[in-house]
Structure 1
Amino acid sequence: MAMVRSIHVFFLILLVLHALESAFANKFSSFSHADESSLLFQFKQSMSIDKSALSHAEACSLLFQFKESMSINTSVSTYDSHAYPKVASWNLNGSDGAGNCCLWDGVECRFGHVIGLDLSSSFLSGPISSNNSLFNLIHLRTLNLANNDFRSSQIPSGIGRLSQLTNLNLSYSFFSGVVPKQISQLRNLVSLDLRGNYWPRLKLQTSDFQNLVQNTSETLRELFLSEVNIDFVPDSLVNSSSLTSFVMSYCGLSGDFSTGILYLQKLQVLDLQVNDNLTGYIPEFHGNSELKQLIVAQTNFQGSIPASIGNLTHLNVLDLRINAFTGTLPASVSNLIQLTHLDLSFNKLTGNLPSLQSLSNLTYLSLRENNFDRWKLPDWFGKLNKITYLNLAYVNLYGEIPSSLFNLTQLEYLFLNGNQLKGELPISLLNLQNLETFHLDGNITVDFYLFLSLKKLENLYLNGNNISLSVIDSHTNETQPKFKELGLTSCNLKVFPEFLRFQHQLEHLNLDNNNIEGLIPGWMWNISKETLIELSLAHNLLMGFEQHSPVASWVSLQNLDLSHNMLHGSIPVPPPSTIMYDVSNNNLTGEISQSICDLSSLQLLDLSFNNITGSIPPCLEKLSNTSMTVLNLRSNTLQGKIPNIFTSESKLEMIDLSENKLEGHVPRSLENCESLRLLDLGYNFLEGTFPFWLGALSELQVLILRFNKFHGVIRIPGNIKVNFPKLRIIDLSNNLFSGDLPHKYFQEWSAMKETMANTIYMQTSIEEHREEYTTYISYEFSFHMTTKGVKIYYEKISEALFVVDLSGNMFRGNIPESITTLTSLQLLNLSNNELSGVIPPSMGNFICLESLDLSSNKLSGMIPQDLVQLNFLAVFNVSNNSLTGPIPHGKQFDTFSNNSYMGNQALCGFPLSKKCGDSEASKPPKVSFEEDTESDFPNGIDWVVILIGAVTGLVIGLVCGDYLSTKYYKWFSQRSRR
């Protein structure tokens, strides 16, 4: 009984204390310390109120939320729609307690002291310093300054004076610089939020992060550091026993992630997405776990997904996309019945996909780009009736699409592209009345009529399917969906779809690679006048325009691709907003209109392969001075001089003026194009000496001056310090250059002395800005090159292609030893010059050489036996010289024909009919088997030797790496057959 009375007394005391606390709180709230009111008012006066500042912060917050929404991260704060300038009403003077800060907006008091300050979304603007009066409020426990604009000032070190702080939120407020070390002194922190300060980014020093984690190991529950620059996660975080939310996305983390953090008993949210250099794995899970969100998207996690992941029964978000997970997906995933979001895309998962039918709460499922065993769509997909996003692109699906899939009536996004699907699209597609985006390619027979009944459909890509356009004329503008993006590439269309007449909100329309013929109808210029951003009609059979083409009527047009048709007439001029303009490979005539120079946003101008006349307009200086990266006027009939239009602000990466009738000198202003990677001026009437000053262009990789009237000796002036450091391809053929070969340049061309293991093609990216994000369109560089008298067009240029062509000039003297230091060369052409002396034996160092042409010179002496070790050599020509002695035997040399040696009267041996003094030397080598066989080849080469040479060449090819682009492989095949 005594114990019971004691308990009653104890609770009575608690009630009395609580009552006293409430009474005192109410009492003191009416007369707070005047000095705290003064401190807050001083803070107000140090700030300005700027509503535009909040809109800026709001925009950043919304953009960041969009980025993180890709993983459905519920820990992302939302923007306060009730924002207002809280401090505007603060006043020290006035009646009714106006000077009492405890009654001010955003202020919380206890016992007369300010303990909480919520000024989030308050339109605050301006820098905040460490001596600000705010940091003298030593009783503060909660401070929220989120969604304001502190003008990229640093987080003040004065924050360390607020030692009682438990909750600190400085997110989306434009703080920058290094997070002060004083933040680690806040030992009572329960929640810290520094997200969204990334213009420029905040940085948290490693030592300060470690101290913060150690000092708050028993109190810290929420840690939100997304977009803060941090090197790695301290291992000591495993001691943070109270941690519930740990969010560090986009932080630049690297090193190994301590998996022990996943064993923290109270942890509910772990978000590490987009830390590309962070390594780790998913450990085994034993016993209960509170984990609700596991997000390690776009990191470098590897290994298999353990079967024990099925023990995480509280999970509602599992996002493992863009990693290197391997093995099969364990069947235990079906235990995660609380999942609403599952993303396993862009991994290396194999085997069979287990049934996910039990995951009935799923709203988001992406399995995109994995290596599952070839499989058909099972019917259980149609039972995931809450799903709104389904991505099954590039997952090795085959067969027909079951009609049960279209029972998913809540679907808004469906991706089935990149598979081997076939058959007809089921009419049950009409069940998807909520569908907004649909991607499907393959060999599907599609009646487009079905899609015109899906009223919410905005983005539709049916590339590569067999499209039927029957029975659609009855759909009027009112009954059709309002498309924004429509892709009908390679759909075997023969006419312009009539339903396009009623589309007035299109932004992207792709009808390329079809068989549409005839004239572009006049009504095409009236569709989506205000909204159209991209139009591609390339690779069709179009002949021209039904009426004058008012392309400029599309006021928002940025990308126009009419290339590879048979259009004729004058060049249509697009609107000023155009960033990509490609009308190449047509039959367009006339001069380049001055109005093209008004396209202030233009990034790419391609008018190549037409019949354009006149001169290059000098007003193009406006474009070279803006954002233009590609200027391609190849293969026209342009005349006159190249105008001196290139400024130091130029961003040009590719200039191709080849195959015209241009004359005069190369304009010196080209040396301003510091970003230039390809310059092709071939097949013109240009003259002057070698433009040595181009050697200062540190990015230049391809220089083509072939078939012009350049003359003189090629020298390096003493005042030039940089000489083509990245040059890989140089073609000076068929000019009037004289003197010795430029041996000093051979010593300087360092890029030709390095090997590359991977084939990457030269291209540039055209930026296209949309409302929500920025996309990039790739434009691949191309050029012409002549080898062994054959002009070859390279649609792609491999960055592992190394070429020197100095043929067709008047070079004399010996072949310098310095040329043999260019060990990465694949094509070397010195033919049709006046070179003398011997072939250097050190040319055997060209271990990756595929073509060597020394024909039509005055070379003497013997063909060095060292050249036999060039196992990758496919073309060899020393004809029309004064060479003597026996032709080397072995490997690739036993595959070259007589034409390689003609015009050398003193050469002897195989394959020539002239025998050397040693009769054995003139015979091809033999390979002994159990039975000798005679070759069936007309030239008598033993097929076994060819096989040995091919195998050896393959080995050397692997050593050299993948040097050949697609077009060069075709060239190699053609040359081998000749």
Structure 2
Amino acid sequence: MAKPSFLLSFMFALLFATSGVILSAKYSNITNDQSALLALKSHITHDPHNLLATNWSTSTSVCNWIGVTCGSRHHRVVALNLSSMDLTGTIPSQLGNLSFLGWLDISHNNFHGSISIQLAYLHRLKYLEFGSNNFDGEIPSWFGYFAKLQQLYLYVNNFDGVIPSTLGNLSKLEALSLGENQISGRIPNSLFKCKELKFLSLYSNSLEGSIPAEIGNFTLLESLVLESNYLKGEIPMSIGNMNFLQLLVLDTNNLTGEIPPTIGNLASLQSLFLYHNKLTGEIPHVIGNLTSLKVLYLMDNKLTGEIPSIIGNLTFLEIIDLENNNLTGRIPTPPPSSQWYGAPNNNLIGEIPSSICNCTSLTGISFYENNLEGTIPKCIGNLSSSLMVVRLGNNNFHGQIPENFAKGCMLKGFSINNNELEGSLPRSLGNCKGLNLLNVGNNNLNDTFPSWLGNLDQLQVLILRSNRFYGQIESFDITVSLTKLRIIDLSHNNFSGYLPTFFFEHMHAIRGEYGKKVDPNYMRERNITKVATEVNYASGLSITAKGLETEFQILLSIWTVIDLSSNRFSGEIPKILGDLHLLIVLNLSHNCLIGPIPSSLGNLSELESLDLSSNKLEGRIPTELKNLGFLEVLNLSQNNLKGPIPQGKQFDTFTSDSYMGNLDLCGLPLSKNCGTDEETPAKFDRDDDDGDELNWKFSILMGYGCGLVLGMSMAYIVFTTGKPWWLIRIVERVRQRFAKR
């Protein structure tokens, strides 16, 4: 009986010993994890929210620290997530001691420096995200030894060099994101060994060369993003092998050739971005096979031929943008699900299809700069509850503007300039409370000033130029008073009466604070549809600035213009114009303005162009205009100005053309010399004071005469008496006194 008792005791002892070893190993390993994380904490130089400073303490278990997750089986750190904590610091080599770590995410912080080599010991790592930091140097080649790695995100950093060929060893890799770095070179062929890859994003780098034909090996790929590089050559035919591809982004490269017909094989494709390339040929009809397609961006290429009518059958297609190509023919029927339908800057003909009225979710139409004709569909007003942007300028539309813009109208940009439209500006546009830009310039509209515009508190750009608007702009009862207006162009109409002073009083967006700079922003609308779509309101906007007709494709909100030229405005220039401190262009030329140039215009510190030509202005050019340090263009010609032209600063850069037709002006750059008048006090500068001027000149001559007689007398005394020391001492004392001063 002794043997069994001894054996049982031995087994219990062995069990306790083994348990002790296991427990000892367990707590020893968690201690290693704690040391590694405390090393990371010591490398954090800025923790603005005190997330680690107070929580990562040895008084609490590591598994309870913020951002730390431990495994239930081994009680080791298996995940570390410190994303979006605004942390600043570097990565210590000790972090590689987290040998059970499978998930590491420190994205959207301010970590910097290179990545330590000891991270290569993280053999269990499956997910690694270092995106949106400031890491630099080359991407470590030993990333390729993370045999279990499935997702690698290094986007938005400062990595340079080439893509390591060792990444081809990551046989389990499903997602690779290296976008927005400084990576150069070619896409390595070894990368195509990653047969499990579903997401590949290499956008905004300096990659070059052609897209390898091996790209078709990614048969499981769902997203391919290679935009904003220097890739060239043709899109490979093998791209049609990606049967699961949903997102294809190849825009902003130097791709040439035709769109391959194999693109019609991508039955799962939802978004196709090929814009900003040099693609030629026609849009392939096989695009009608993409029955899942929602977004089609082909703008800024050299595509020719007609728009395939089959796109009208793509029932899920929401965005069609074919801008800036050489497309011809008619506008095909849009898909009923269309939210954005545009093909501006092409050679399209015919009318806008009436079927566009069936697109009840339409948020924007853009067909400016074509050869379209007919009338603007009346249903445009009915669609205004969803429609945000209408751009139909630079065509041949005739008839009247639709008048049925309902209450709740969502319009933000309405551009129908450079057509042959007639009638009046529909008052129902006043229902579009969010309107930012209204451009009806260069038509045949015949109306008085639309005073109801004063209720549009979001209006920033108002263009009524080159129409037949007439009458006085009376002060009207307005609720909001156009307080955000930055650009107003009423030129080349028949407006009369005094300049609308009440306009200038309420232009708070241009008044600003004297000497205070304003941050520039682009005038555009983002996310205009469910899928992100950006619209620049200024496309096709033409403004006379600095004496030249300037067309904008994109417009900064700090660009401020008042152009009331070529009308029949009378009276004096209001002094209140000097309060518009942020004004860049002021054009009041070709009117009937009288009186002096107000000196308050010298307060327009941002002014770059001033045109007051062809009026009846009189008096002197205010010397305060020398304060306009940014003034590049000045035109005061064909007025009745007189006196000397101010000298110095910007005035030294203007030619005589700026002053021609003012017969009484003098001084450079004119050939007429002002003589002594330039130094004459203002009280002698009177047209009706010729007698006083004669007396003044006679007094000067008398002074010269008396001085001459006195000087000759003194010379005679000196000559006859020798050296009159008394006179010399007086002169010496005077000279010494002035020398001390």
Task: Report deviation, 1:390.
Answer: 1.3
Give the match for residue 874 of structure 1. Answer: 632
Give the match for residue 137 of structure 1. Answer: none
Taking a change above 3 Å as real, the CA distance of residues 781 and 352 of structure 1, as seen in their structure-2 partners, is: same
Partners of 2:636 and 2:659 within 8 A in 1:
yes
CA distance in 2, matches of 1:707, 1:589: 25
Give the match for residue 603 of structure 2. Answer: 845
1:438 and 2:224 matched: yes
Matches within 5 A, 1:102-181: none
CA distance in 2, matches of 1:604, 1:360: 49
CA distance in 2, matches of 1:318, 1:541: 45
Partners of 1:604 and 1:766 within 8 A in 2:
no
Give the match for residue 388 of structure 1. Answer: 174
1:912 and 2:670 matched: yes
CA distance in 1, matches of 2:431, 2:481: 15
Letter of the aligned partner of 2:110 in structure 1?
A: A
CA distance in 1, matches of 2:638, 2:468: 25
Q: 1:778 aligns with which of 534, 539, 549?
A: 534
Give the match for residue 464 of structure 2. Answer: 705
Give the match for residue 28 of structure 2. Answer: none
Partners of 1:871 and 1:891 within 8 A in 2:
yes
Taking a change above 3 Å as real, the CA distance of residues 852 and 421 of structure 1, as seen in their structure-2 partners, is: same
CA distance in 1, matches of 2:147, 2:417: 62
Letter of the aligned partner of 2:250 in structure 1?
A: L
SS of the counterpart of 1:785? strand
1:765 and 2:526 matched: yes
SS of the counterpart of 1:686? coil
CA distance in 2, matches of 1:455, 1:743: 65
Q: 1:262 aligns with which of 56, 71, 86?
A: 56
Give the match for residue 733 of structure 2. Answer: none
Task: Report deviation, 1:840.
Answer: 1.5
Give the match for residue 888 of structure 1. Answer: 646
Between structure 1 and structure 2, the one with the greater Rg is 2
Partners of 1:270 and 1:295 within 8 A in 2:
no
Give the match for residue 412 of structure 1. Answer: 198
1:810 and 2:597 matched: no
SS of the counterpart of 1:852? strand
Letter of the aligned partner of 2:524 in structure 1?
A: Q
1:561 and 2:324 matched: no
Q: Output one character per residue of 1:609-668: Cα deviation in whole Å (capped at 9) or x when no partner.
A: 22332322322222112x211011111222222222111221111001111122222211
Give the match for residue 662 of structure 1. Answer: 421
Matches within 5 A, 1:508-523: 508-513=271-276, 523=285
Taking a change above 3 Å as real, the CA distance of residues 435 and 653 of structure 1, as seen in their structure-2 partners, is: same
Give the match for residue 484 of structure 2. Answer: 726
1:679 and 2:451 matched: no
1:342 and 2:128 matched: yes
Consecutive unaligned residues of structure 2, counting only runs of 5 or more, are 1-47, 69-73, 680-741
Give the match for residue 820 of structure 1. Answer: 578
Task: Report deviation, 1:824.
Answer: 0.5
Partners of 2:241 and 2:265 within 8 A in 1:
no
SS of the counterpart of 1:621? helix
Taking a change above 3 Å as real, the CA distance of residues 326 and 575 of structure 1, as seen in their structure-2 partners, is: same
1:497 and 2:260 matched: yes
Q: 2:270 aligns with which of 498, 501, 507?
A: 507
SS of the counterpart of 2:56? helix
Give the match for residue 736 of structure 1. Answer: 494
Consecutive unaligned residues of structure 1, counting only runs of 5 or more, are 1-253, 273-281, 283-287, 466-489, 770-774, 922-978
Taking a change above 3 Å as real, the CA distance of residues 310 and 892 of structure 1, as seen in their structure-2 partners, is: farther
1:595 and 2:355 matched: yes
CA distance in 1, matches of 2:224, 2:449: 55
> What is the CA RMSD across the aligned residues, in angstroms?
3.1
Partners of 1:266 and 1:290 within 8 A in 2:
no
SS of the counterpart of 1:601? coil
Letter of the aligned partner of 1:556 in structure 2?
A: F
Count of residue correspondences: 619
Partners of 1:690 and 1:712 within 8 A in 2:
yes
CA distance in 2, matches of 1:257, 1:672: 50
SS of the counterpart of 1:605? strand
SS of the counterpart of 1:695? helix
CA distance in 2, matches of 1:890, 1:913: 17
SS of the counterpart of 1:776? coil
Identity across the alignment (%) = 39
Give the match for residue 536 of structure 1. Answer: 297
Taking a change above 3 Å as real, the CA distance of residues 345 and 566 of structure 1, as seen in their structure-2 partners, is: same
Q: Output one character per residue of 1:917-936: Cα deviation in whole Å (capped at 9) or x when no partner.
A: 15999xxxxxxxxxxxxxxx
Letter of the aligned partner of 2:521 in structure 1?
A: I
Partners of 2:93 and 2:116 within 8 A in 1:
yes
Moved more, 509-518 or 568-577: 509-518
CA distance in 1, matches of 2:442, 2:264: 44
Partners of 2:332 and 2:353 within 8 A in 1:
no
Taking a change above 3 Å as real, the CA distance of residues 315 and 679 of structure 1, as seen in their structure-2 partners, is: same
Structure with greater helix share of residues: 2
1:366 and 2:129 matched: no
Q: Output one character per residue of 1:665-721: Cα deviation in whole Å (capped at 9) or x when no partner.
A: 22111111111111111111222222122121111111111111112222222x323
SS of the counterpart of 1:894? helix
Partners of 2:343 and 2:366 within 8 A in 1:
yes
Taking a change above 3 Å as real, the CA distance of residues 587 and 430 of structure 1, as seen in their structure-2 partners, is: closer
Partners of 2:410 and 2:434 within 8 A in 1:
yes
CA distance in 2, matches of 1:542, 1:360: 45
Q: 1:858 aligns with which of 589, 613, 616?
A: 616
CA distance in 2, matches of 1:911, 1:381: 70
Q: 1:378 aligns with which of 164, 174, 183?
A: 164
Q: 1:644 aligns with which of 399, 403, 407?
A: 403
SS of the counterpart of 1:912? coil
Taking a change above 3 Å as real, the CA distance of residues 271 and 611 of structure 1, as seen in their structure-2 partners, is: farther
CA distance in 2, matches of 1:345, 1:620: 45
Partners of 1:656 and 1:679 within 8 A in 2:
yes
Tell which has more relative contact order, 1 or 2 (C-alpha 8 A, sep 6+). 2
Task: Report deviation, 1:601.
Answer: 0.9
Taking a change above 3 Å as real, the CA distance of residues 850 and 563 of structure 1, as seen in their structure-2 partners, is: same
CA distance in 2, matches of 1:270, 1:756: 46
Partners of 1:289 and 1:312 within 8 A in 2:
no
Give the match for residue 613 of structure 1. Answer: 373
Task: Report deviation, 1:452.
Answer: 4.2
Partners of 1:269 and 1:294 within 8 A in 2:
no
Matches within 5 A, 1:219-234: none
Taking a change above 3 Å as real, the CA distance of residues 767 and 867 of structure 1, as seen in their structure-2 partners, is: closer
1:527 and 2:289 matched: yes
CA distance in 2, matches of 1:431, 1:519: 27
Letter of the aligned partner of 1:362 in structure 2?
A: L
Give the match for residue 965 of structure 1. Answer: none
Partners of 1:603 and 1:766 within 8 A in 2:
no
